[in-house]
Chains A and B, each alone.
Chain A
Amino acid sequence: MKRFGWQSLVISSLFAATLAAAQARPQYGDTLHVAMRTAPTTLHPADSTQPDSFARRNLTLLMFETLLTTDSSGRIHPALARSWQAVAGNRRWEFRLRHDVSFHDGTALTAEIAAASLRAANPSWNVSAAGDSVVIEREIADLELPAELALPRNAIAKSAPDGKPSGTGPFHIVDWQPGKKLSLAAEENYWDGRPFVDAIEIEMGRNYHDQSIALELGRADLVEVAPEQAHRASMDGRRVSSSEPMELVALLFTRDVVTPDEKLLRDALALSVERASMRSVLLQGAGQPAAGILPDWMSGYGFVFPMETDLPRARHLREQVRAVPTWTVAYDPSDSIARLLAERVALNARDAGLSLQPTAGASADLRVVRIPLAAAEPWIALANVAAAIGLPSPKNNGGSAEDLYSAEQGLLGTKRLIPLFHLPATYGAAANLRDWSPRPDGSWNLADACLGNEKQ
């Protein structure tokens, strides 16, 4: 009896271990359903007419690939380019392409096609093909060029005969209804291995509430979650994952400081903002209060910018100005958090003796803006923020933290921007979505994900 019991136990243990291993092993097949708020009308990576967003970057990286990629710490890794080198004092860069890469229409990836794609995305660049290499020549040394090439907007694309853009990514387009729905199928001959899921169907233009319901009802496997809803979703037992804080929420003045009084008033406004209570209540603890442009995890010095409310000093600055105008602060009416932030900022400003009038109109003295940080690489992120608010891009002269701080301080010194928060990209995933978590920069990385049989 004892012997039989021992044998049974061994057999049962082996069966359970085999079953567990089988369940843990990625499974091919099935269709992944994704929902998103953004409703892009074009899929071309370099189309600058579409606003930048995490969703758009993720869409791009499903179908297209860049020459290089970066990891969460900003280190550069090869992608379509298997190696690269800089010559002539970082003014000439050569990127040698892989030989086993083809576009979805069957066309082999060549240096000419890649160079043409990069020229289309960056008209000011001097891009050429040299053998199996793409050569980029800049007038001045450009240390950030590899990181720049890792941005989704620099993904390599070519136009197919039917007009649809064609890439080399893990999925190819099956059906595209601009702004509504995108159907993708796994690329069987993907150079880095076929994705596990057979297809991805992406519903576009769905608000957070609809996405939440879709996830609840099992109609979606991956949805976006508003950062302020992440805590509640987690409390409700949902599977919620967030990136590092990659989105800057800030007050952006629509014009430069003209008079000293205006500068005093902008400083008073910055000192009156209660970031802590806003984060605690409005954002329900999501994100990080910010007084700098770059998040602390990215720059390492974000804490040095003062974030505390200083009403006495704000009132003191305001009292130095005789005539205080009423500013209008605009918000995106479809963004409920932006509206609450605008109203709260107006209340805080009133405590400092300032007058702000929230408005959903397009014309205003300042706006509540969300600026997705372009990359985990701080210089790239800073340069893209500068470009987004219409200021000159700071130059990376050596890549030191001091230089970065000076550049960021220079941007803040223009008084065009009052940073409020850094928010993560947050997603809700179904329980059967396996081997998936967002990258620190918020990208999806769905090529390695697979769908299991787990119930919600």
Chain B
Amino acid sequence: MTFRRKLLAVFSLTVFLSVAAVAFLVSAMTRRAFDKADNDRTAALVTQFQREFERHGADVVRRVETVAASDAVTRMATMLNHASTDSAGYFELAKSLAEGYQLDFLEFVDARGNIISSAQWPAKFGYPESAFDNLASSDKQSAFLKQEELQDSTALGLFAVRATRVGDRPIYVVGGRRLDKIFLSGLDLPSDTRALLYQNRGDRFSADLLVDASTPPSSNTRSADKLAPIIQAVQQYSQEMTSVIHWSADQADDEVFHAIPLRGNGKDRPLLGILLVGNSRRSYVELKRHIRASALLVGGGGIVVAILLSSWAAARVTRRVERLALAAQEVTAGNWNTHVEVSGGDEVAQLAESFNRMTTELLNQKEHLVQAERVAAWRELARRLAHELKNPLFPLQLTVENLLRARQSDPAQFDEVFRESAQTLLAEISNLKAIIGRFSEFSKMPHPQLQDVKVNDILRAVAQLFQAQLQAPGRAPIACHLELDENLGTIAADPELLHRAVSNLVLNAMDAMPEGGALTLHTTREDGKIIIEVADTGSGLTPEECERIFTPYYTSKQHGTGLGLAIVQSVVSDHGGRISVQSQPGRGTKFIIELPRNPDTLRSVLATGGVSQGNG
């Protein structure tokens, strides 16, 4: 990944994470705020319900007191105070008064606890009112909850008891209003909030006992059974409960229900009903979705802007870095005379200035080095020439001096001496010519003529060529091992030069093993390269020798010219490869040639039938 892309990714990721973090924080804060608002609203509703409950209770008490003080009831109490009067005539009084005073429940009960008249269950006259342990003690009490038995059902209501006392036999007026849809719809509820009432009859949940004043949703059916767990929890633990009801897969339909137990009078304070206050989570969910959508929109937009801005910024930053990278590549390729444009005064500009100074310095040092090496080479050449020429010159001098002495001292034997001296002179002159020829040959290294070459074949040919010498009589035998990669394939190379280079390495190896040993020729492939290894088990080289061994005219041998490995290095270099040496004294030496496979060049070679490779 390029620096620019990395920079872009970092910028984008930073913006994305920032937006995500902000959205998360806003969402969390919103949720917390809504939870608090839910709790506040539920608490307010509960308080409101309690106020409404008390208000309705006070209203029931007022109505019952009014009924108890009415003329009709007073007249009835007066009449019934006489033992001879039958109560049958007042059978319908409760119903008519209940309608007049807008009470859902109204009963008149005599002092013995028997019902005289019942509005809600007229046929129950004469039966005892069994819901009260002591009617007299219920008189003057505030309103209370009571489960009223009806003809075919039961109903939950707010009741009050008042007595009409005329004489010594009071008439008890038991009146109440039903807690039903009308009661629930009379509650002043906030929007998105509804109240339901569950009439607690038995331990088992029944949807029929649930009173819901709200309009049922038309789109999705809200099964009352989903309220069963919270109702059963209140029934079991007899305390307020809160639960989230999931009506559908859509979270917006969820409601938070707060269940409040409603208890009746008496010692046990039985659980008569459960008020369920539901707060819709629709607004919260929709706000959360809105925040999420906004965060995604802002995040997406931010990422796009970040990409654009960071592309621009990265381009500003990386353009100069890329120029530096290109300049460095130029330097790597050998073009040391490379400079980059310096603009600005930041770190990159300083880097560019440093780079320019570096290339200038390198160029200067290279020139000094070249000059020094050239001087050293000339010195080495002069030394080697002096050394090479001195050896044949000394016999030439001695032969000429012998010839002169023979001419002066023994003219008779002069001819014989002359003849022998002439032969010696000719031999030494021939030797001089050979020396001069080798130097001449090195200076005339040809450019490689590339063609499709199987390296393994060249190595086999070299091994074949030297097989006789390796096993020559009079010298210690050298075993030759070929370890060739048969899948090596071909490369674009000059077979003659390559053959010559390998042959030089084999000759060196033979020279390094006067006591015999093993010669190994090894080929393998590696990362687009072909590796040729020529290893011996000879005397080996010291690290110093390894460093200088490829220097022209350097030799570790007694009679070497120092050109063999220089020629090998020249051939390998001309093929775009490199040569290295691994050696330990006494354990042998391994020369490693790495040649590029050059598939493009190879295709060109195959297409044209051959190409000349040169370095300049």
Contact = CB atoms under 8 A, between A and B. Distances in A.
B89 interface: yes
B123 A347 contact: yes
Contact of A280 (B86, B123, B124, B151): B86
A284 B123 contact: no
A274 B121 CA distance: 17
A358 B125 CA distance: 17
B125 A281 contact: yes
- On chain A, which size bracket covers the interface? 10 to 19
A357 B150 CA distance: 12
B123 A344 contact: yes
A282 interface: yes
A56 B87 CA distance: 36
B72 to A, nearest CB: 14
Interface in A175-213: none
B312 interface: no
Interface in B48-98: 86-89, 91
B410 interface: no
B124 A340 contact: no
Nearest to B87: A281
A251 interface: no
Contacts of B89: 231-232, 284
Interface in B416-436: none
Nearest to B152: A357
Contact of B124 (A285, A347, A357): A347
Nearest to A336: B122
Interface in B89-126: 89, 91, 121-126
A343 B122 contact: yes
A281 B151 contact: no
B88 A285 contact: yes
Contacts of A343: 121-123, 151
B125 A277 contact: yes
Q: Identify the interface centre among B86, B91, B123, B126: most chain A CB within 10 Å of its CB.
A: B123
A281 B124 contact: no
B442 interface: no
Given A347-B127, A358-B151, A358-B152, A284 B122 contact: no
Contacts of A375: none
B56 to A, nearest CB: 28
A284 B124 contact: no
Given A340-B122, A343-B123, A347-B127, A281 B152 contact: no
A280 B122 contact: no
A346 interface: yes
Contacts of B123: 282, 340-341, 343-344, 346-347
A231 B89 CA distance: 9
A340 B126 CA distance: 14
Interface of chain B, main secondary structure: loop
Interface string B120-157: 01111111000000000000000000000001100000
Contact of B88 (A274, A280, A341, A346): A280
B91 A282 contact: yes
A210 to B, nearest CB: 18
A123 to B, nearest CB: 44
Given A346-B151, A357-B152, A358-B151, A281 B91 contact: yes
B121 A277 contact: no
Contacts of A346: 123, 151
Interface in A317-364: 340-341, 343-344, 346-347, 357-358
Nearest to B86: A280
A277 B152 contact: no
A343 B125 CA distance: 11
A229 to B, nearest CB: 10
Nearest to A274: B126
Nearest to A347: B123
A232 B127 CA distance: 24
Contacts of B126: 274, 277, 281
Contacts of B86: 280
Interface string A3-23: 000000000000000000000
B124 to A, nearest CB: 6
A283 to B, nearest CB: 9
A357 B124 CA distance: 14
Nearest to B89: A284
B87 to A, nearest CB: 8
Contacts of B151: 343, 346, 358
A112 B121 CA distance: 58
B123 to A, nearest CB: 3
Contacts of B87: 281
A284 B88 contact: yes
Nearest to A282: B91
Interface string B513-540: 0000000000000000000000000000
A89 B91 CA distance: 56
Nearest to B90: A281
Contact of A284 (B91, B121, B127, B152): B91
A48 B152 CA distance: 36
B121 A281 contact: no
A347 B126 CA distance: 11
B164 to A, nearest CB: 20
Contacts of A281: 87-88, 91, 125-126
Nearest to B127: A347
Interface string A284-310: 110000000000000000000000000
A356 to B, nearest CB: 10
- Which of the listed residues A231, A274, A344 has the most CB atoms from chain B within 10 Å of its own CB? A344
Nearest to B121: A343
B80 to A, nearest CB: 14
A281 B89 CA distance: 7
Contacts of B91: 281-282, 284
A277 B127 CA distance: 11
A309 to B, nearest CB: 12
Contacts of A358: 151-152
Nearest to B91: A281
A281 B95 CA distance: 14
A262 B171 CA distance: 42
A378 to B, nearest CB: 31
A191 B280 CA distance: 84
Contacts of B125: 277, 281
Contacts of B121: 343
Nearest to B122: A340
A212 to B, nearest CB: 14
Contacts of A280: 86, 88
Nearest to B117: A281
A346 B152 CA distance: 10
B130 to A, nearest CB: 13
B152 to A, nearest CB: 6
A274 B123 CA distance: 12
Nearest to B151: A343
A231 B88 CA distance: 11
A323 B23 CA distance: 68
Contacts of A357: 152
Interface string B213-238: 00000000000000000000000000
A343 B118 CA distance: 13
Contacts of B122: 340, 343
Nearest to A348: B123
10 contacts: A277-B125, A277-B126, A280-B86, A281-B87, A343-B121, A343-B123, A346-B123, A346-B151, A347-B123, A347-B127
Interface of A: 231-232, 274, 277, 280-282, 284-285, 340-341, 343-344, 346-347, 357-358
Given A346-B151, A358-B151, 18 more contacts: A232-B89, A277-B126, A280-B86, A280-B88, A281-B87, A281-B88, A281-B91, A281-B126, A282-B123, A284-B91, A340-B122, A340-B123, A341-B123, A343-B122, A347-B124, A347-B127, A357-B152, A358-B152
Interface of B: 86-89, 91, 121-127, 151-152
The 10 closest A-B pairs by CB, nearest first: A343-B123, A344-B123, A281-B88, A280-B88, A281-B91, A281-B125, A340-B123, A343-B151, A277-B126, A347-B123
